[in-house]
């Protein structure tokens, strides 16, 4: 069955099929960060949105050192495992560079948090965070990754790590790699027939009716 | 010599409609199909869901991964607009915090709305408690139009026989999702009725319509639908009306005022073109406002003349008053039973699969009227913010080894937690009746103009104890449902200090009532056909005419009333009364 036939089998009409075949095309670029593009015209976008994106993409916020630190942290938060790659495999640092410009409230807490991390690392190990050994890095992360048990004086680090963890998850699970990992299988034309029978049975919901 | 001029068109249209949302779209549809030559002015730009929708895009196709930075409901949402528009301010009085959402686009806010399509009931039109003024019309007056709207546009649901939640002409409803079955069970234990949702999404082919295709269950109605499987004014009303050859649409036309003759009759509309910033004037035998409750009130109040010194249709002084938006409060959390759940596509429709209509007797309560409950949850498409709560949730329930662990973390164990918690989310929100009060209003701010030089609105709005106590009841009910379904609450528990989570007025985007109808010209701006008491060839077809909104979302009633008004216009024209 080719794609057109399978769409027909789903009960879609000729007009929807044509529109959907177009809409279902995966974007050509496999990169996980939208490539900088000409902001001339795009369907469904106001011109000011396109101009704004273009401006944001032309700016650079983080320094090389900051980006390297973000990369180490992101990969500590989401490392490669048997299911999927790491945060940096999914270009999470590049996403973070964009999003702090897009949502400027992130800028100071991120910059300041990275600085806090380096100062803490320097006081403890006489090295900035990225030059500390893997074990040393993890020992610092252990002090800021568990909000409830962290020592009160680590609160600035905890707040930074919370933000860094959230941005990393946002950046990772919104890529093709992350969506596959988490198992989201929607965003495709289908006929919704309700909860599968085995799942209803698993939760004892066979007899629940709305 | 200045080159400033007002470009006047010699054409006289049968009707000029301001606004292309549900109200303006329906009026245009009816009039254009009846052969009337109609001009529609839309303040925003053109929008056609078939071409402009972001439906079926993946999160990585947005550089901000769907975050709501430029569009409040996310980067793929079908709204050119928001609560703040560049160069188009509004102001507040007495520390009001009214929030006014505007979509500047063909079809207006119908492009992104929730498609929850509820009829107001007999008690909503004629309240039994005497607290608010009755409408000059009854449910029986509107029912035939609700019926026609159902058939024309399409709506799913189930006949329930509830008196104040009238049944419509329904297509088959979507099946419930797994979390919705948990909700049903839990809510029943908590004494709350749950019924099938009612949404304007085509779950079946629409008879005699070749432009719209049935829903294919992507759950993305908020992005607008490329196959026109749901209701947007652009796809279902305006485009078909244009096809008759009788409707002309001018976009980017920001209306300044309605022009009246010496005898006070409306003769046209003046507007500024947002693109070339030139001034235009167009003429019509009728003017129909459908710019939204607040924008239409603004136009009327700005249309001052010697015959209408208080603003057009405002000899009563009620224009702008009785503004009310639905109340809203919510609770969210997760269902530990659903951890490690099987993956499958449960996108469903983009409107509600289930809801709880108001179920209690107010005689036993300390607040009037009521609210309905909308529910959400499940395995949605990841977007910015994904996994945000996992680092707290993983400290609330035992891990894989059965032992409690410390909230937070990183690495492979955290990555495993993101998977375990995916799809466990559940939440609910109330949408309730806010009382229409004369003291809640919008008016012209004499000191402020927008970038087009049009005086802007200033809001004065305070929640009263009626709404606050209702929000308190919502919170208690939601927590009880969450408990009965075995959910863990993760949202903050709201108390008196935050008015029980009651959102700012305007936040639910159901604002209505600013140009209310009534039999008494001293107490209302419009008669029961939405015709101005003071100006017989002026009509209002948005939510301005609402006397008192029920807890039902406004759109289906706007559509029914606009159709009723348009048919009245045709009948009056035939009798040569207008």
Mutate to test the interface with A, among B382, B399, B413, B451 (most CBs of A within 10 A): B382
- Compute the distance between CA of residue B528 and CA of residue B526 in angstroms, rounded to an integer: 7
Q: What angle do CA B548, B549, B555 make, to 5 degrees?
A: 135
Chain B contact set for A81 (CB, 8 A): 412, 415
Residue (of A116, A115, A118, A156) closest to A137 by Cα position? A118
Q: What is the pLDDT along chain B (578 residues), one digit of tens a residue?
A: 567 889 999 999 999 999 999 999 999 999 999 999 999 999 999 999 999 999 999 999 999 999 999 999 999 999 999 999 999 999 999 999 999 999 999 999 999 999 999 999 999 999 999 999 999 999 999 999 999 999 999 999 999 999 999 999 999 999 999 999 999 999 999 999 999 999 999 999 999 999 999 999 999 999 999 999 999 999 999 999 999 999 999 999 999 999 999 999 999 999 999 999 999 999 999 999 999 999 999 999 999 999 999 999 999 999 999 999 999 999 999 999 999 999 999 999 999 999 999 999 999 999 999 999 999 999 999 999 999 999 999 999 999 999 999 999 999 999 999 999 999 999 999 999 999 999 999 999 999 999 999 999 999 999 999 999 999 999 999 999 999 999 999 999 999 999 999 999 999 999 999 999 999 999 999 999 999 999 999 999 999 999 999 999 999 999 999 999 999 999 999 999 98
E strands, B125-262, where?
195-196, 247-250, 253-260
Provide CB contacts within 8 A for B237, sequence distance 6+: B22, B25, B26, B28, B29
Residue (of A32, A29, A35, A60) closest to A170 by Cα position? A32
Whether residues A184 and B415 touch (CB distance < 8 A) is answered with no
E strands, B42-199, where?
81-82, 91-92, 102-103, 195-196
Q: Three-class SS of residue B396?
A: coil
Tell me how close the Cα of A122 comes to any Cα of chain B, in angstroms. Answer: 22
Beta carbons of B456 and B444 less than 8 angstroms apart: yes
Mutate to test the interface with A, among B60, B375, B383 (most CBs of A within 10 A): B60
Q: What angle do CA A32, A38, A40 make, to 5 degrees?
A: 130
Beta carbons of B292 and B19 less than 8 angstroms apart: yes
Tell me how close the Cα of B564 comes to any Cα of chain A, in angstroms. Answer: 32
Whether residues B415 and A78 touch (CB distance < 8 A) is answered with yes
Chain A contact set for B194 (CB, 8 A): 210
Residue B61 is classified by DSSP as: G
For B338, the closest chain A residue by CA position comes to: A203
Instruction: Tell me the whole-structure pTM to 2 decimals.
Output: 0.95
Mind listing the domains of chain B with CATH numbers? 1-56+65-156+222-315+448-462+514-578 (3.50.50.60)
Chain A contact set for B217 (CB, 8 A): 189-192
Residue (of A14, A101, A11) closest to A53 by Cα position? A101
Tell me how close the Cα of B175 comes to any Cα of chain A, in angstroms. Answer: 5
Chain B contact set for A27 (CB, 8 A): 58, 60-61
Mutate to test the interface with A, among B157, B229, B336, B384 (most CBs of A within 10 A): B384
Whether residues A195 and B176 touch (CB distance < 8 A) is answered with yes
ipTM over 0.85: yes
Whether residues A43 and B51 touch (CB distance < 8 A) is answered with yes
């Amino acid at each position: 069955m080719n794609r057109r036939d399978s769409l027909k089998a789903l009960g879609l009409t000729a007009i929807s099929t044509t529109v959907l075949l177009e809409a279902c095309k995966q974007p050509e670029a496999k990169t996980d960060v939208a490539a900088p593009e000409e902001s001339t015209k795009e369907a469904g976008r106001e011109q000011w949105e396109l101009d704004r994106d273009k401006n944001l993409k032309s700016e650079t916020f983080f320094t090389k050192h900051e980006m390297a630190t973000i990369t180490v942290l992101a990969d500590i938060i989401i490392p490669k495992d048997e299911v999927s790659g790491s945060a940096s495999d999914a270009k999470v640092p590049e996403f973070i560079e964009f999003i702090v410009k897009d949502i400027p409230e992130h800028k100071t807490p991120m910059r300041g948090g990275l600085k806090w991390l380096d100062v803490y690392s320097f006081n403890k190990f006489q090295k900035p965070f990225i030059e500390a050994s893997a074990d040393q890095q993890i020992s610092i992360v252990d002090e800021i990754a568990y909000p409830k048990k962290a020592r009160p004086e680590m609160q600035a680090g905890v707040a930074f790590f919370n933000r860094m963890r959230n941005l990393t998850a946002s950046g990772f699970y919104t890529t093709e790699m992350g969506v596959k990992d988490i198992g989201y299988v929607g965003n495709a034309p289908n006929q919704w027939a309700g909860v599968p029978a085995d799942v209803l049975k698993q939760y004892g919901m066979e007899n629940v009716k709305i | 010599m200045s080159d400033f001029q007002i470009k006047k068109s010699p054409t006289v249209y049968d009707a000029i409609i301001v606004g292309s949302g549900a109200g303006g779209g329906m009026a245009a549809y009816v009039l254009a199909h009846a052969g009337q030559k109609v001009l529609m002015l839309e303040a925003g730009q053109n929008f056609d869901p078939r071409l402009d929708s972001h439906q079926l895009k993946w999160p990585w196709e947005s550089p901000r991964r769907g975050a709501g930075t430029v569009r409040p409901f996310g980067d793929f949402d079908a709204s050119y607009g928001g609560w703040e528009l560049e160069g188009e301010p509004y102001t507040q009085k007495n520390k009001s915090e009214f929030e006014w959402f505007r979509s500047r686009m063909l079809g207006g806010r119908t492009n992104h709305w929730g498609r929850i399509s509820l009829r107001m009931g007999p008690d909503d039109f004629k309240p039994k408690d005497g607290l608010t003024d009755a409408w000059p019309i009854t449910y029986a007056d509107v029912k035939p139009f609700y019926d026609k709207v159902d058939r024309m546009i399409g709506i799913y649901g189930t006949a329930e026989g509830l008196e104040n939640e009238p049944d419509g002409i329904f297509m088959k409803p979507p099946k419930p999702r797994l979390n919705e079955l948990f909700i049903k069970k839990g809510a029943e234990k908590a004494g709350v009725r749950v019924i099938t949702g009612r949404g304007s999404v085509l779950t079946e082919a629409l008879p005699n319509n070749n432009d719209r295709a049935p829903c294919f269950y992507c759950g993305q109605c908020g992005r607008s639908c490329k196959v026109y499987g749901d209701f947007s004014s652009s796809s279902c009303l305006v485009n078909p009306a244009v096809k008759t050859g009788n409707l002309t649409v001018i976009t980017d036309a920001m209306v300044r005022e309605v022009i009246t003759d010496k005898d006070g009759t409306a003769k046209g509309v003046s507007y500024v073109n947002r693109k070339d910033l030139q001034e235009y004037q167009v003429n019509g035998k009728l003017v129909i406002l459908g710019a939204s409750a607040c924008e239409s009130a603004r136009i009327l109040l700005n249309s001052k003349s010697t015959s209408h010194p208080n603003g057009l249709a405002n000899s009563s002084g009620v224009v702008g008053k009785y503004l009310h938006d639905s109340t809203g409060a919510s609770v969210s959390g997760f269902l530990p039973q659903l951890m490690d759940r099987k993956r499958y596509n449960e996108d469903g429709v983009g409107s509600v699969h289930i809801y709880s209509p108001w179920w209690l007797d107010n005689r036993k309560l300390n607040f009037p009227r009521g609210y309905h409950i909308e529910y959400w949850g499940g395995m949605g498409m990841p977007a910015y913010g994904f996994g945000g709560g996992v680092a707290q949730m993983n400290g609330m329930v035992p891990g894989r080894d059965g032992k409690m662990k410390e909230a937070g973390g990183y690495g492979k164990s955290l990555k495993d937690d993101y998977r375990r918690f995916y799809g466990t989310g559940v939440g609910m929100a109330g949408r309730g009746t806010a009382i229409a009060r004369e003291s809640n209003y919008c008016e012209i701010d004499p000191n402020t103009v927008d970038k087009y030089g049009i005086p802007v609105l200033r809001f004065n709005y305070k929640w009263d104890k009626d709404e606050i106590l209702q929000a308190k009841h919502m919170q208690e009910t939601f927590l009880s449902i969450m408990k009965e379904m075995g959910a863990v609450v993760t949202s903050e528990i709201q108390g008196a200090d935050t008015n029980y989570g009651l959102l700012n007025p305007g936040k639910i985007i159901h604002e209505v009532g600013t140009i209310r109808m009534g039999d008494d010209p001293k107490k209302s701006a419009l008669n029961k056909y939405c015709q101005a008491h003071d100006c017989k060839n002026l009509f209002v077809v948005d939510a301005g005419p609402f006397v008192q909104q029920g807890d039902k979302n406004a759109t289906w009633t706007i559509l029914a009333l606009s159709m009723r008004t348009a048919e009245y216009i045709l009948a009056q024209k035939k009798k040569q009364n207008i």
